[in-house]
Structure 1
């Protein structure tokens, strides 16, 4: 069977990488290992093996190997078992040089894998801010959503990356677009206590008052924020919403307002802050319960009884 020893990959590329690979771990070391694996493989580099080698080079950020595979005829349209192309893998890895090579070779910028995710969405989910910038500059669709309706902007908001959210908005992303569950970037940012993201979205004109699914407003999501969100950040997010015009009085489909939701979730600092803002602890939901009736903590119940 053919081997790679006579080819540039085994000679020029391995020699070029060896000088730095021994000195430090990282991409050079990884790429050298990949080059050696390819050199020692008994499989001829053609067909599926060639595509797999390109996938590996993209996943590991090895532009020299990627260029060699493309020169040997590797197809940029080849897909792995998840429907991802080499461009998808390189984008998720943040492999800028590899992405440039693939785009120059004709890779589909907005290719969707089996879950409908584009390279830009993969980059956003992987928190690859420079890659997001690169793909947007290349013309990637900023609003391309996966099968669940998740857009790159929603992914960036979920991750709490305010700079990426700004990047995507400047790149043309629709800031108020919702996913299949009815939640938009504002809801994810508020519910996870990402105050900076909330502020960016407010500046972009996202409605802070309109109810989303089940009648829940962004303020209600901030009030009932995720348990792993620092309470101070969640309160900052709620404060930004109130300053932008969010009202404390709306209720969800159960008849519960932001104070009731915070109380039920056991968020004492948020409850105290909402009371300071004028929330009414005497209000009752559709079942007749007040905020104090929804808490398990005696201390919180006393706070609500004042």
Structure 2
């Protein structure tokens, strides 16, 4: 006896035959419809869920709607604990997100890492899906198991417009994650001056003392190696103009100058010296910035 297909081929004949406009997304959905139509009914519930996950990832709204009509559940989870809505959010699938929400998908669902659909959207910079989720009632401050909020994720990723959206939705500006960092720490550490400016304008503390007594200025001074030196300096300048204290020291006794020297950021060292950083200051082990310098050129600049 012929086995029943997961999706009746007739239900998506237009898609499978490629009768829709020949746009890349439509072609992808047409191919998916054809693939699903060939799958047998063995383990039908499981296959329906897997198919819904595929449709969510590819933003094939008609297929997702058809699967839901066939009995697919919006509450099904994959091996990582993600629902179809979680997948749609992380992939930026706006059309399927709307279909799933209308079908009763849990907007507050958490995967095995504790991430909600909104956080997954924020991690991947999916601003438009994030806006849909926020409009539907998603909590802008729901953090995962590591304390990462959507705003922190967006700041880390450099997604400026998404940061704006989350701030407007009421995100807690100085929420601290499990490593003791706030959104401004991440923005400063990655040289995202425009995001740092947004956060400060929204009330972020430019001189806040967070995990390991590190301030945003210290994060800017030791910025990531893939951040252009000019961006790191622009961020440090912004923080100083906003009231950051150049003389603060972390729990090792190191200030921004020492951190920049140890990281090998010669341009940052020069900038901080121009701003009045003290090269004679010593850390908890009695070392100066010159002692910590990563290169001989920086050491010489510091008088070591």
Same fold (TM over 0.5): yes
Q: Please, which of 170, 174, 177 is the counterpart of residue 176 of structure 1?
A: 174
Q: List 4+ stretches of structure 1 deviating above 6 A.
A: none
What are the ranges of 5 or more consecutive residues in structure 1 without an aligned counterpart?
none
Other structure's SS at 1:59 match: helix
Other structure's SS at 1:150 match: coil
Cα distance between partner residues in 2 of 1:299 and 1:27:
54
Cα distance between partner residues in 2 of 1:293 and 1:5:
69
Q: Does 1:273 align with 2:274?
A: no
Aligned residue number for residue 264 of structure 1:
262
Cα distance between partner residues in 1 of 2:77 and 2:34:
24
When the two chains are superposed, the root-mean-square deviation of aligned CA atoms in Å is 1.6
Aligned residue number for residue 21 of structure 2:
20
Is the 8 Å Cα contact of residues 6 and 44 (structure 2) preserved in structure 1? no
Q: What per-residue deviation string (whole Å, max 9, x for no partner) do you get for residues 255-281 of structure 1? A: 111111101111000000001111111
Aligned residue number for residue 127 of structure 1:
125
Aligned residue number for residue 78 of structure 1:
76
Aligned residue number for residue 186 of structure 1:
184
Query: Cα distance, 1:19 vs. partner?
Result: 4.4
Cα distance between partner residues in 2 of 1:185 and 1:250:
20
Q: Does 1:155 align with 2:135?
A: no
Q: Please, which of 286, 290, 293 is the counterpart of residue 292 of structure 1?
A: 290
Q: What per-residue deviation string (whole Å, max 9, x for no partner) do you get for residues 265-300 of structure 1? A: 110000000011111111111222111111142221
Aligned residue number for residue 142 of structure 1:
140
Instruction: Give TM-score scaled by structure 2 length.
Output: 0.95
Other structure's SS at 2:142 match: coil
Is the 8 Å Cα contact of residues 9 and 37 (structure 2) preserved in structure 1? no
Cα distance between partner residues in 1 of 2:271 and 2:286:
23
Aligned residue number for residue 248 of structure 1:
246
Aligned residue number for residue 38 of structure 1:
36
Q: Please, which of 235, 238, 247 is the counterpart of residue 236 of structure 2?
A: 238
Cα distance between partner residues in 1 of 2:92 and 2:10:
26
Other structure's SS at 2:52 match: helix
Query: Cα distance, 1:136 vs. partner?
Result: 0.9
Cα distance between partner residues in 1 of 2:150 and 2:7:
43
Q: What per-residue deviation string (whole Å, max 9, x for no partner) do you get for residues 107-147 of structure 1? A: 00111011110110111111111111111111110011111
Cα distance between partner residues in 1 of 2:227 and 2:211:
22
Is the 8 Å Cα contact of residues 182 and 212 (structure 1) preserved in structure 2? yes
Aligned residue number for residue 219 of structure 1:
217
Cα distance between partner residues in 2 of 1:260 and 1:53:
54
Is the alpha carbon distance of 1:299 and 1:275 closer, same or farther for their aligned partners in structure 2, counting shifts above 3 Å?
A: same
Is the 8 Å Cα contact of residues 9 and 35 (structure 1) preserved in structure 2? no
Other structure's SS at 1:305 match: coil
Aligned residue number for residue 9 of structure 1:
11
Cα distance between partner residues in 2 of 1:128 and 1:158:
14
Residue correspondences, number: 302
